[in-house]
Protein backbone atom coordinates (compact mmCIF):
# COMPACT_ATOMS: atom_id res chain seq x y z
CA UNK A 1 0.00 0.00 0.00
CA UNK A 2 1.07 3.57 -0.65
CA UNK A 3 2.80 5.46 2.15
CA UNK A 4 3.63 9.08 2.89
CA UNK A 5 6.54 9.97 5.17
CA UNK A 6 6.86 13.16 7.20
CA UNK A 7 9.46 14.25 9.72
CA UNK A 8 7.98 14.30 13.24
CA UNK A 9 9.02 17.86 13.94
CA UNK A 10 10.29 21.05 12.34
CA UNK A 11 11.14 24.35 13.97
CA UNK A 12 11.41 27.90 12.72
CA UNK A 13 11.93 31.32 14.22
CA UNK A 14 9.27 33.99 13.75
CA UNK A 15 9.69 35.69 10.41
CA UNK A 16 11.76 32.86 8.94
CA UNK A 17 10.70 30.35 6.31
CA UNK A 18 9.53 26.93 7.45
CA UNK A 19 9.67 24.01 5.04
CA UNK A 20 7.75 20.83 5.77
CA UNK A 21 8.54 17.94 3.43
CA UNK A 22 6.41 14.91 2.62
CA UNK A 23 7.82 11.99 0.67
CA UNK A 24 6.32 9.10 -1.25
CA UNK A 25 7.07 6.97 -4.28
CA UNK A 26 6.58 9.08 -7.42
CA UNK A 27 4.57 11.53 -5.32
CA UNK A 28 5.01 14.15 -8.02
CA UNK A 29 2.60 12.15 -10.18
CA UNK A 30 -0.17 12.62 -7.65
CA UNK A 31 -2.08 15.52 -6.14
CA UNK A 32 -1.01 16.45 -2.62
CA UNK A 33 -3.09 18.25 -0.03
CA UNK A 34 -2.03 19.85 3.26
CA UNK A 35 -3.91 20.34 6.51
CA UNK A 36 -3.13 22.39 9.59
CA UNK A 37 -4.34 21.17 12.95
CA UNK A 38 -3.97 23.11 16.17
CA UNK A 39 -4.46 21.45 19.59
CA UNK A 40 -8.06 20.45 20.30
CA UNK A 41 -9.22 21.76 16.92
CA UNK A 42 -10.35 20.15 13.69
CA UNK A 43 -7.97 20.14 10.73
CA UNK A 44 -8.08 22.97 8.20
CA UNK A 45 -7.20 22.64 4.52
CA UNK A 46 -4.33 25.00 3.71
CA UNK A 47 -3.16 23.71 0.29
CA UNK A 48 -4.98 21.61 -2.30
CA UNK A 49 -3.86 20.12 -5.60
CA UNK A 50 -0.18 20.65 -4.79
CA UNK A 51 -0.08 24.45 -4.62
CA UNK A 52 -3.58 25.93 -4.62
CA UNK A 53 -4.66 27.98 -1.60
CA UNK A 54 -8.28 27.91 -0.42
CA UNK A 55 -9.88 31.28 0.15
CA UNK A 56 -8.98 32.69 3.54
CA UNK A 57 -5.59 30.99 3.73
CA UNK A 58 -2.76 33.53 3.99
CA UNK A 59 -0.41 33.97 1.05
CA UNK A 60 2.54 32.93 3.20
CA UNK A 61 1.39 29.32 2.77
CA UNK A 62 2.59 27.71 -0.46
CA UNK A 63 3.08 24.21 -1.79
CA UNK A 64 5.14 22.34 -4.34
CA UNK A 65 5.34 18.76 -5.52
CA UNK A 66 7.96 17.12 -7.70
CA UNK A 67 9.75 13.79 -7.92
CA UNK A 68 9.24 11.95 -4.65
CA UNK A 69 8.73 14.99 -2.42
CA UNK A 70 6.01 17.52 -1.76
CA UNK A 71 6.78 20.54 0.38
CA UNK A 72 4.64 22.92 2.37
CA UNK A 73 6.42 26.24 2.76
CA UNK A 74 5.44 28.93 5.22
CA UNK A 75 7.14 32.23 4.46
CA UNK A 76 7.46 34.71 7.28
CA UNK A 77 6.35 32.17 9.87
CA UNK A 78 4.18 33.57 12.65
CA UNK A 79 3.61 32.21 16.16
CA UNK A 80 0.02 31.41 15.16
CA UNK A 81 1.36 28.94 12.59
CA UNK A 82 2.55 26.60 15.33
CA UNK A 83 0.54 23.45 14.70
CA UNK A 84 0.61 19.92 13.34
CA UNK A 85 0.69 19.69 9.55
CA UNK A 86 -0.45 16.65 7.60
CA UNK A 87 0.14 15.89 3.94
CA UNK A 88 -2.39 13.73 2.12
CA UNK A 89 -2.89 12.08 -1.24
CA UNK A 90 -5.04 9.32 -2.62
CA UNK A 91 -4.41 6.08 -4.41
CA UNK A 92 -6.79 3.44 -5.75
CA UNK A 93 -9.87 5.05 -4.21
CA UNK A 94 -8.36 5.31 -0.74
CA UNK A 95 -6.93 8.27 1.13
CA UNK A 96 -3.44 8.28 2.57
CA UNK A 97 -2.19 10.69 5.23
CA UNK A 98 1.36 11.32 6.26
CA UNK A 99 2.16 10.87 9.92
CA UNK A 100 2.18 14.60 10.55
CA UNK A 101 4.84 17.19 11.34
CA UNK A 102 4.74 19.34 14.42
CA UNK A 103 5.88 22.87 13.58
CA UNK A 104 7.33 24.73 16.52
CA UNK A 105 7.79 28.47 16.18
CA UNK A 106 10.57 29.38 18.58
Q: Does 94 bind another protein (CB under 8 A)?
A: yes
Number of residues in contact with another protein under rule CB under 8 A? 22
**In sequence order, which residues have a C-beta less than 8 Å from that of residue 5 and are 6 or more positions away?**
22, 23, 24, 98, 99
| DSSP state letter for 27 | G
* Distance of alpha carbon 67 from the chain centroid: 16
Q: Does 33 bind another protein (CB under 8 A)?
A: yes
Contact at 8 Å (CB) between 97 and 85?
A: no
C-alpha 72/C-alpha 96 separation (Å) is 17
Q: Does 93 bind another protein (CB under 8 A)?
A: yes
| DSSP state letter for 52 | B
Given 63, 100, 103, 105, the residue binding another protein (CB under 8 A): 100
Q: By C-beta, is 12 or 32 nearer to another protein?
A: 32
Given 62, 63, 88, 105, the residue binding another protein (CB under 8 A): 88
**Could you list the residues that contact another protein (CB under 8 A)?**
1, 31, 33, 35, 37, 42-45, 48, 54, 86, 88, 90, 93-100
Amino acid sequence: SYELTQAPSVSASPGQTASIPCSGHKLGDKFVFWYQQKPRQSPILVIYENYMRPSGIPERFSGSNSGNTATLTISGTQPMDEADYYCQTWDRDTVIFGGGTKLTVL
